Structure 1
């Protein structure tokens, strides 16, 4: 039987008591601080913890989750138990109720200070589609793809909270049929629906994190939209990979779902062939049963499922640290585009439209190969809880605005051949 809270939670809410995601909010003219979502409210944690003389009260007065993340997994578990008890036991109602603020009265902020940002390429279906598109005369997967989780370092300073405007980036690109590049706004602006994992407990340089140690370091998960300028990306990507075609903006959801809330979504990872090397194997590795939904101007264009991702979160973390690279509190580890085998499971427009050659038709009769100015993208995800309830991540949204300067967009068309995570 599903656990219930004395706080009213509407059926279908992403934020039942089984979830309790953390975010940073501000109310009226007050300073940003940490809260937890429950139903249609945010619970203001700092005054609640202070009223009970809790020794962790000060971390919730901070304008970032980082001080709380740095406390480590024992503190995360203890606070979750404390919260669950106060939101399910009626005897705490008088104490807690005064600290509940309607969600429609608050402003959400970036939930944590992003230390480093690494984006992986964990979906075999996404990698195969792009391989066939970009390298039609070669095998769709690079020779190393099934042996290690491929990734690249992104720009942490351009990670922003959901709702941040997506300003069409300028850049250098080569239009189809041209022998030389030009500079101007991208004509192939794309979305990428992803899941991101937030690091709490850091490591020291030289320390390797094993597959079975991931829960000691990963606090929780967020939705990610890694906006991509495909024409900029395809021109610049060889030989060193993504750069300006990716670094202009990466959007994340305002709520961080604790990994503990996702126990009910943990499933066996896919079979990997050939078997990965020993440092990428563990006794307790897991995939995640998450259902994503991508909307373009209100119209559902994709429903990817995370459970089919080839490389797991633990394997990504194990590979990232295998050379001794250190983790820092606030690191964001993204999965890469979540895509499945079905035509409706593509987590990017470049897949949905086959590189722009087969545009989608929206209900208003307009077509899209890539995103146009004024378009709004909304990515959501839900997951099962242990007791049969269902929880969600909220949403990561963004609306495209015209380039701040530069010439008119170049004609759309198939991008130049490139490796494109």
Structure 2
């Protein structure tokens, strides 16, 4: 029987493939089912992230008082059922209701899975880099799988993600019935709150949430505003370049998760460097609208920044003291508000003040870097002894260094 850690990481791959297989074609499905207003389509799909962002905190707080297991399994089963209903019906209203249900399922799954991973990797947090590696792999395989299944039929297209989520749920149920007492204990036992230094913990949590919102405001540009700029400047060839850039980005993200730990940087240092990598990438993207090869140079910096920043925030939450883990990971989902702020801000600036667009995004990156440099209240927890590891998110990344 595999360990719970391996099940969680492999399950992340399954859910990532399912998510990225289904999401790109959802607008086409809703349009085919009668949604003629683009705003309605965007609102329905955007509700997935919005519900997860707003519901994560309350769900995380309940997890701290009970157990993560039922929330994760319930979220997986609920998501699988929603996809099965989408495969069985063609009614627009019911389809939108099921897409909203996907957001509810995500709200249950994300804080619970991160809480469990944090409990298992209590000393190093290396599982969060493996988690991001699996997300990157899913971002490569998912769209390809979605393109194939969507070409077959809508029923097959929705049935595949349903099976992947259901398979993940079955694995989790089986691991709790295994003969490994440690695995069962980690999975079932209610987590203990960490009440030491509560004032410092609240300040750090607020700062990490703010950093996450700023990072996702910039991160959202690659999949929202940037494609519009490419299409406007390069026409039909822009779509081709975008597809190639996204594939390169996903591959590099996977590779970076094995490279970054070997650089022996602290989490905070790697994230600060990541913000400046985003600045360089944004500048190269702007120049690449006129000189195409610079787009490909820009994606190298973008992938480096993304690989440091996205798992870095989760590792910071994992290392956080003075608050309950479920609540911390739940409130950490507020970073997805950046996916609403980013497209709105970027779209408004690129359309009405194109010269200000890159400058504002640079400013958002620098604001995140400044927050990373600030250490609230001046207190530092003691440095635990640890051995450096070559796996993603190695042991050298310590509590005090990430702060």
TM range (shorter): under 0.3
Q: When you count strand as a share of all residues, which structure comes out higher?
A: 1
Q: Which has the higher contact order (CA 8 A, sep 6+)?
A: 2
